[in-house]
Amino acid sequence: MNATGQDATGQGTQRLVWAVVGSDIGPLLLAATEDGLVNVVFHAAGDVRDKALERLGSRLGTEPVEAPGSPLLAEPIRQLRAYFAGERRDFELPLDWSLIAGFNRQVLRELATGVPYGTVVGYGDLASRVGQPGAAQAVGIAMGANPLPVVVPCHRVVESDGGIGGFGGGLETKRQLLALEGVLPQPLF
């Protein structure tokens, strides 16, 4: 890519930058394009990080570049740190939704805008909110496909019977996020 953002053929190329940042729930890989934050990956060390970057590059058709000082990552890093410090309840970030489409995108957008900090919603309730009552299982699949966990708060989706439900980052991570938001009691140790 040259200084004008074009490759050798003169075609525009998508910038894809990433960094791994520490958090209360372990290392998070954050990736962004010029359109916004595109991916958050839990437990982003070693093989997990490498596989996530390979998958991301393949899906977006460009090589991810490690750039922790990139302006594209500065605000996501700042807001995530404030969230874990208990100083931020809502994320105000441009999001790149290109890794998800259709029903899954519809459900995740509703989740991002309609389920505030400190609250939870049932899988079935979220399905009803997007006009698909009875699609609770499909909502669960959408949560598992969420490319932007924490920022798009899939940890706030729980079972209607009071169970915590599943979570791609692991149930302990989900419990920690819900405790941070005051939904669950903080663990004693």
| Residues with active-site annotation | 154
Number of alpha helices (DSSP H) and beta strands (DSSP E) in the chain: 6, 6
- What is the b/e burial string over 53-90, where b = at least 16 CB atoms within 10 angstroms of the residue's CB? beebbeebebebeeeeebebbebbbebbeebbeeeeee
Whether 26 and 182 have beta carbons less than 8 Å apart is answered as no
Q: What is the DSSP pairing of strand 28-33 with strand 36-41?
A: antiparallel
Please identify which residue in the block is written with the tokens 């005051």: 182
Backbone region of residue 150 per phi and psi (left: phi > 0; alpha: psi in -120 to 50; beta: other values): left
Whether 181 and 117 have beta carbons less than 8 Å apart is answered as yes
CA 128/CA 84 separation, integer angstroms: 31
Per DSSP, what are the bridge partners of residue 17? Answer: 32, 65
